Amino acid sequence: MDSQAFVRLSIGSLGLRVPVAAAKAVRSDALSSPCMCEIRLRGFPVQVAPVPLINSPEESPDPHSFAASFYLEQSNVRALLSHGCFQAANAYLEIVVFSGREGGHCGISGRKQQIGTFKLQVGSEWGEGKSVLLHNGWIVIGKNKHDSGAELHVRVRLDPDPRYVFQFEDETTSSPQIVHLQGTSKQPIFSCKFLRERRATQSDPVNSYWLTSSSSQQESERRERKGWRVMIHDLSGSAVAAASMVTPFVPSTGCDRVARSNPGAWLILHPDPGGIEAWRPWGRLEAWREHNGKDSIGCRFHLIEEGHCSLDAVGGGVLVSEILINAEKGGEFFIDTTRQTPVPTPLPSPQSSGDFVYPGHDMSCGFVMNCRVQGESKSSKPLVHLATRHVKCVEDAAIFMALAAAVDLSREACRPFRRRLRHHTSNSF
């Protein structure tokens, strides 16, 4: 498989130093709490990050701290370097620093005060696909740089971050092919088989993994969605990954929604190399529906440690992603330790976890995967990006395809129970 070129623009090691002379121009209460900044790059959403105050000349910002990242493909770089009629001659990375209390816009009160702006021009080196340290150090950001003004410490770095890109050719419930995308070419790489069964059977090597759990469900329970599963096959027809609904999606008491307190769940599996037609759990995806001003689908994904084979072994896993996806517009599920993550400590490395990180590569740093899905009223053909460093062979990608299929199907499983499922979903079996 050929990869597509991406670069990651990383911003970190932020710190703000305000000399006494400059501090007089800032409200007396403004610097009593951490300042904030807006990090802007044309064509991308604004990102917000705190800026720690550095009160002593002997202090220095944490060189390993992270504030934001942008992922650029070649078309993004070309757009930033182009000089169109309606675009400025030069594009910049901008970091606008504000003082003020937490609690308003961007985490700052309405009385926020702009301290200054750091600007870094986009140059030709952005498109060369090489690691480049664009800036690292202190710089005056006040309006008048000839005066003694506030100083910002920032580290800006570009690194190549190539990806494999895959596309489901049709809705997951239609058992589509999955193709590998390279430019305008499409190469079939997997097939996806969607099934819905009322009960597990001993003759099914995948369903037999959770037969005990499935058979305990009462057939009399009408208001539930259960028994969905997806098999990922390679071009030879061999099953190389699977996703199965191991906890039914049921409405919470007193409402018609799958609640966060009682989510449905999928188990993501891959073949066990030590057994014939045996399967090993890799991860568990939980999903629910939230109404936080707008309807969202919540997705929470745990990696399951080696040896924790119980269906309820969430406590034996590591939480690596928790995402809200807009139910109407769709959105992106991702595993990326440089973006917002619920993990309070670094993820375990392969050296400390054995086969815990499938397929044996370090997931403790940076982008791992993302999956883009459409809103529940639209036909969704998931688009999946994988970091090439996590894919050493074609089979490695299959487990992520199973996870992407489970994310996509969770849109339907989490629909309010007063609504009927999409016609295509309910008649695909």
Kindly report, residue by residue over 3-61, the tens digit of the pLDDT: 999 999 999 999 999 876 555 555 544 555 678 999 999 999 999 999 999 988 778 89
pLDDT the model gives residue 379 = 87
Measured CA to CA, the distance from residue 304 to residue 120 in angstroms comes to: 42
Number of domains in the chain: 2
Closest CA to 53 of 100, 7, 86, 93: 100
For residue 408, how many other CB atoms are within 10 A of its CB?
A: 25
pLDDT the model gives residue 222 = 53
For residues 221 and 354, state if they share a domain: yes
Residue 70 structural domain? 7-158
**Which has more confidence, 101 or 296?**
296
For residues 151 and 167, state if they share a domain: no
Residue 151 lies in a domain: yes
Lowest mean pLDDT among 80-84, 107-111, 345-349: 345-349
Residue 1 lies in a domain: no
For residues 228 and 276, state if they share a domain: yes
Residue 197 lies in a domain: yes
Using a 10 angstrom Cβ sphere, with 0-12 exposed, 13-18 middle and 19 or more buried, the burial of residue 75 is exposed
Q: What is the dihedral of CA 204, 206, 211, 212, to 10 degrees?
A: 150
pLDDT(342) > 50: no
* Ranges of H-type helices in 355-426: 394-413, 423-426
What percentage of the chain has pLDDT greater than the value 90? 52
Across-strand partners of 68?
11
pLDDT the model gives residue 25 = 53
Provide the mean pLDDT of the chain: 80
For residues 168 and 118, state if they share a domain: no
**What kind and span of H or E run contains 23?**
helix 20-23
pLDDT(277) > 90: no
Residue 45 lies in a domain: yes
Contact 75, 69 (CB under 8 A): no
For residue 54, how many other CB atoms are within 10 A of its CB?
A: 19
For residues 367 and 254, state if they share a domain: yes
pLDDT the model gives residue 354 = 28
For residues 145 and 64, state if they share a domain: yes
Contact 411, 376 (CB under 8 A): yes
For residues 130 and 192, state if they share a domain: no
Among 158, 185, 218, give the residue marking a domain's end. Answer: 158
For residues 151 and 170, state if they share a domain: no
pLDDT the model gives residue 328 = 92
What is the pLDDT averaged over residues 207-221?
42
pLDDT range class, residue 378, cuts 50, 70, 90: confident
What is the pLDDT averaged over residues 259-274?
90
Residue 401 lies in a domain: yes
For residues 359 and 405, state if they share a domain: yes
Residue 306 lies in a domain: yes
The residue to which tokens 């650029």 are assigned = 72
Q: pLDDT tens for residues 380-422?
A: 999 999 999 888 888 899 999 999 999 999 999 999 887 666 6
Measured CA to CA, the distance from residue 318 to residue 97 in angstroms comes to: 35
For residues 407 and 320, state if they share a domain: yes
pLDDT(213) > 50: no
For residues 143 and 204, state if they share a domain: no
Contact 34, 51 (CB under 8 A): yes
pLDDT the model gives residue 112 = 74
pLDDT the model gives residue 99 = 83
Q: pLDDT tens for residues 85-118?
A: 555 567 999 999 998 654 444 444 456 788 899 9
Residue 2 lies in a domain: no
Residue 228 lies in a domain: yes
For residues 171 and 152, state if they share a domain: no
pLDDT(311) > 70: no
Among 119, 138, 158, give the residue marking a domain's end. Answer: 158
pLDDT range class, residue 253, cuts 50, 70, 90: confident
Among 130, 158, 186, give the residue marking a domain's end. Answer: 158
CATH of the domain at 53: 2.60.40.150
